[in-house]
Structure 1
């Protein structure tokens, strides 16, 4: 900490109290200097005997207390010397006072769980006469030094703050970008406290549009991104700047439903889009404060991709909703065998709609040869559904991809496996395009705000093909694999389920996409299994709320 700091210990709580001149002249723990617990960065031991094996309970307690006490005292050198990476730890600990301007802190350790020690930090941040309390929780892990054998804190930036990653730093000062007040389509204010999944999006909106919206800077504590083009994350606001108003296409009611829905599963993402305009109504992820997988992910979408495949086959006259198609339990295509879930088959008199609604893989694979073009699926995805056209949504997003392929890899793409990749935003847009027959590029911020040019697809589907796709999706929702998930959804509704196998993963990723009137939504749940079981309820919840 800065000069004028004194240390006290009360009931196991390390306290840093401003007052007097210079630091307190005593150690927080008796005999800290020669206790044998610390000893510095993990360099070669001078002792002939180096202790091995797991750290003991006493070592964990002593090391964590010594480190937290030194940190609380503001002695970065001593605290860093109790870690296994002094070179990185010391400047980070110094920056806690010098750059983040923390002038007071009370650190309270909790009971250890194995070698992990949780703790809460109640700090005070002061900058140019402005002061505000700051509270958060984090944890550290005690490990045995590889060469010294001493117990040491395993240094990670998250020891300082849980959101801090490698290459990032804390800073307090005048904010780098103007403040904003993001609002939904009805003027409701959107905050990261109320809608956690929007945290990163709101930070990016601020960076992109704060100045354009007429906002002014405030005084804040933030995380400097490790990426020069990245978005800094605000942790604390000491003085609010005057916010500029930034309109979004989001819908607070649908967003709230999405936030609640994804909490059911770890590794879940959901997006809702309005088919008639492309406006994004909701975006949510679990975890909420991490990677925006809903808009930036890239994974095989499983059988939800059959919407694009069905459009291709119908457009080429190779299938129609009411014509019969073969659905054997397995099929061989250019040396690669494909089969249906649990090797089911359908009677040869069953229609293409039946194969779509019950997600028959082999019915789609058997028709590939007739397209006479291994790259046909990629062309359909780009020219009709706008996949890969570099969408400009207003925030960072990743387009889907259907790379050129041949043989078994091309066949796998037809059922959403192999090299095809999508995210929830991409599949919500695919469903929106199928719903209306025309691609409308998804947007989260109106293009009128910055004049960016939205992309358009080469062509639309004919009303006949669009009608068939809608009817096939309606069948899936009413009596096919999406029936259970969509049973609570009202209005004109349709769906498609998907399960995507991932190498090295015991359980498939769960995918689901659907529509209700003029709203489309898609979701993915990592290792969620069948699409209707995990991802389906997420989509249904958002569709119910967003109508």
Structure 2
């Protein structure tokens, strides 16, 4: 088993088997002497980083107590005994995990990796459980003791704050989710679909016609926004078949594309129907930012702003939209990307394809525009920001608040108080090129009789101008490099959003090819064409 602790309960007596020097050896000494490991009460509290012996001592005691199911004792060796005690108690009592065997690995400084082997039991059925985790030993701020730095991930790597472990009959039957062509969609083949499939099961397990099984699950802090995450199945349920709108081919391309960039998300939709063809995320936190993200979209917002300018008669695709070096709005000065040449004679199409910030800032105070004009355009024509999308899973439908002051101008270029995600921007592109708002959805509304959101869409002339400006951007403007090599009817818009505290902007890109629209976001990915652009291009290539 290697060095470390290996504990068993035999005849009611706790026995420690020593696998060499280290944790096991310390535990025998401690048991004989009755020492608590906290040092002399007369000594001043220690300071500084715990040393090698302290790391071994602390983890040895923590692991031994955990193995015995002594939650309170184990928690006492952490720097958050209350939270640790609650979760460690649930480990044995609600999750029914027993026969715990912990094998520590080689410490790196104060961090100790370890493997866990245990048994999960329910109603006479048992299954093995095994996983790897790690912990870090820190110095207690007041006591000076060496303590385990408490994180829920110590108990299981997928646990987060507020989560717990439960073994019971499933709240919802399992599902067999299938794509639009009947391909079975699994989290093993499409990893980033994991949270999506869990949520679909939570919402539609009963409707899909399956029967529940018995599982060990992670129950998340907010069940309304995150469905249970299954870890071990003790008794198989009968899955019900749930048809989704996803395309297996487009989803596979999306999964592959986001893996190239950290903190990235992408969504593809079918503009003619609103069906979601793909949703993929590559993020450390596992969050479905593609559907639930709330961040500034940068210059992709100029699609909506351009529509507002056209619909309100301020200018048109071939009308004036001068691009000066700077533009000042209510004491705040806005600039363009470094190196952009000013153009006092620019049209809206030219300023759009070059993504000139100042051109849009100069036009936001033209008659008849008001503080509410951009909000009205977003809500009434693009269906955004009203909180009424029903996609089939948890989603956010954007926010474009009516504001005065400098943020009115900042909103127009996708900064300020505007919040979007790739789902929203893929829908914006779909509305822009068809003139019709079709609320995106992942599961047919016929399954549960839910009502999809409605909006009046765009005048045909506005949609035609937006589509042509996006075509120009994809072939002659800031999106040309990312979209090169794509055939057919294509269009795009780039964006980069500055985020306070980040040296590098978020990369945004949205585009279309035929009857596929896609949008991607890469946090701290730089310019729109640098990171988000290649993701969207890969998805459009698969879907065209």
TM-score in terms of structure 1 length:
0.92
> Equivalences for 1:279-318 in 2 at 5 Å?
279-287=275-283, 290-318=286-314
Corresponding position of 1:179: 174
Deviates more, 1:173-182 or 1:104-113: 104-113
Q: What residue in structure 1 maps to residue 405 of structure 2?
A: 407
Q: Is the 8 A contact 1:329 1:343 kept in 2?
A: no
Q: Given that residues 32 and 66 in structure 1 are in contact (C-alpha distance below 8 angstroms), is that contact kept between their aligned partners in structure 2?
A: no
| Paired residues of 2:265 and 2:522 also in contact (CA < 8 A) | yes
Q: Distance in 1 between matches of 2:38 and 2:81?
A: 11
> In 2, distance between residues paired with 1:38 and 1:442?
59
CA apart distance, 1:393: 0.6
Q: Which residue of 2 aligns with 1:429?
A: 427
The answer to whether the 8 A contact 2:7-2:64 is kept is no
Q: Work out the CA distance in 2 between the residues paired with 1:265 and 1:493.
A: 24
After TM superposition, list the pairs within 5 Å mapping 1:87-102 onto structure 2.
87-102=82-97
Could you tell me how far apart the structure 2 residues matched to 1:162 and 1:345 are?
51
Counterpart in the other structure of 1:543: 540
Indicate the SS of the match to 2:517. Answer: strand
CA contact (8 A) 2:2 2:103 kept: no
Alignment of structure 1 residues 238-253 onto 2, 5 Å: 238-253=234-249
Which runs of structure 2 are paired with 1:264-283 in the superposition (5 Å)?
Answer: 264-283=260-279
Residue matched to 1:416: 414
Deviates more, 1:290-299 or 1:73-82: 73-82
Structure 2 partner of 1:384? 381
Task: Determine the C-alpha separation between the residues in 2 that align with 1:354 and 1:72.
Answer: 68
Q: Residues of 2 paired with 1:254 and 1:23: CA distance?
A: 58
TM norm structure 2: 0.93
CA distance in 1, matches of 2:123, 2:12: 21
Q: In 1, are the aligned partners of 2:321 and 2:363 still within 8 Å (CA)?
A: no
Matched residue of 1:30: which SS? helix
1:500 matched to which residue of 2? Answer: 497
**Equivalents in 2 of 1:337, 1:217: separation in Å?**
60
Q: Secondary structure at the match of 2:318?
A: coil
Consecutive unaligned residues of structure 2, counting only runs of 5 or more, are 18-23
1:75 to 67, 70, 77: 70
Q: Is the 8 A contact 1:124 1:132 kept in 2?
A: yes
What residue number does 1:7 align with?
A: none
Offset of 1:367 from its aligned partner?
1.4
Could you say if the C-alpha distance between residues 16 and 354 of structure 1 is closer, same or farther in structure 2, counting changes exceeding 3 Å?
same
Correspondences of 1:35-50 after superposition (within 5 Å): 38-39=37-38, 46-50=41-45
Aligned counterpart, 2:107: 112
Measured in 2, the distance between the counterparts of 1:46 and 1:349 equals 81
After TM superposition, give the deviation of residue 16 of structure 1 in Å: 5.2
Q: State the distance in 2 between where 1:348 and 1:88 align.
A: 62
- The whole-number CA distance in structure 2 between the counterparts of 1:214 and 1:326 is 60
Shift in Å at residue 30 of structure 1?
2.2
Specify the alignment match of 1:3 in structure 2: none
For 1:91 and 1:456, locate their aligned partners in 2 and report how far apart those are by CA, in whole Å: 46
The reply on whether 1:334 has 2:325 as its aligned counterpart is: no
Give 2:347's aligned residue. 351
Segments of 5+ residues of structure 1 without an aligned counterpart are 1-9
The alpha-carbon distance between structure 1 residues 305 and 314, as it changes in their structure 2 partners (threshold 3 A), is same
Partner-residue secondary structure (3-state), 2:28:
coil
Question: Following TM superposition, by how much is the alpha carbon of 1:234 offset from its aligned partner in structure 2, in angstroms?
Answer: 1.3
Equivalent position to 1:168, from 156, 163, 173 = 163
| Structure 1: distance between partners of 2:434 and 2:198 | 33
| 1:542–1:17 CA distance, 2 compared to 1 (3 A) | farther
For residues 185-212 of structure 1, give each alpha carbon's deviation from its aligned partner in whole angstroms, at most 9, with x where no partner exists: 1111111222222211211111111111
CA distance in structure 1 between the aligned counterparts of 2:154 and 2:537, rounded to whole angstroms: 39
Q: Give the whole-Å Cα distance in 1 for the aligned partners of 2:448 and 2:407.
A: 41
After TM superposition, the structure 1 stretch with the greater mean CA deviation from structure 2, 101-110 or 168-177, is: 101-110
* Structure 2 residue matching 1:325: 3-state secondary structure: coil
- Who is 1:22 aligned against? 12
Cross-structure match for 1:456: 454
Does residue 485 (structure 1) correspond to residue 475 (structure 2)? The answer is no
The answer to whether the Cα contact below 8 Å between 2:294 and 2:421 also exists between their aligned partners in 1 is yes
Distance 2:101 2:390 in 1: 45
CA contact (8 A) 1:434 1:469 kept: yes
User: What is the Cα deviation at residue 476 of structure 1?
Assistant: 0.9
Q: Is the CA contact (8 Å cut-off) linking 2:173 and 2:240 kept in structure 1?
A: yes
Note the C-alpha offset of 1:108: 2.5
Distance 1:303 1:350 in 2: 17
Say if 1:198 and 1:258 are closer, same or farther in 2 by CA, change over 3 A. same
